[in-house]
Structure 1
Amino acid sequence: MRTKKNATLNVGFKEKQPSSRKSVEKKPQKLTESDLRNLMGINRPTYKRGRGGAFRQQ
């Protein structure tokens, strides 16, 4: 009896079918040095605490 019970458990699940769509290959993005520096935040203003605890631009 146990084998029949285990066999009926898989009734509600669908088997995966292979997709008919072809996978599209993505081209790697080429970034310039200035783009990379901008993404890393190198050219951003820097701030430090001055007298009285206020932030001041350096």
Structure 2
Amino acid sequence: MEAKKNALPNAGFKKKKPTARKSIEKKPQKLTERDLKNLMGINRPTYKRGRGGAFRQK
């Protein structure tokens, strides 16, 4: 007796074809000058050591 070649693999199911994916182009994000300064941390409070070693806002 000869064994069937396709007895178990893909038991009657069709293979899915790879779908073509559309390339999505990302738009460059435009940041304002205020946003850039905020990201860089320019407007953050600065601290300095005072008498007794405690931090004080400058």
TM-score under structure 1 length normalisation: 0.66
Percent identical: 85
Q: Which residue of 1 is the match for residue 30 of structure 2?
A: 30
Q: Which amino acid aligns with 2:29?
A: Q
Runs of 4+ residues deviating >4 angstroms: none
Q: Which amino acid aligns with 2:48?
A: K
CA RMSD of aligned residues (A): 1.3
Segments of 5+ residues of structure 1 without an aligned counterpart are: 1-17
Tell me the secondary structure at the aligned position of residue 30 of structure 1.
coil
Query: Deviation at 1:19?
Result: 5.9
Instruction: Render the CA deviation track for 1:16-38: whole Å, top value 9, x for unaligned.
Output: xx761111000000000000000
* Number of matched pairs: 41
Segments of 5+ residues of structure 2 without an aligned counterpart are: 1-17
Aligned mates of 2:32, 2:57 — CA distance in 1: 28
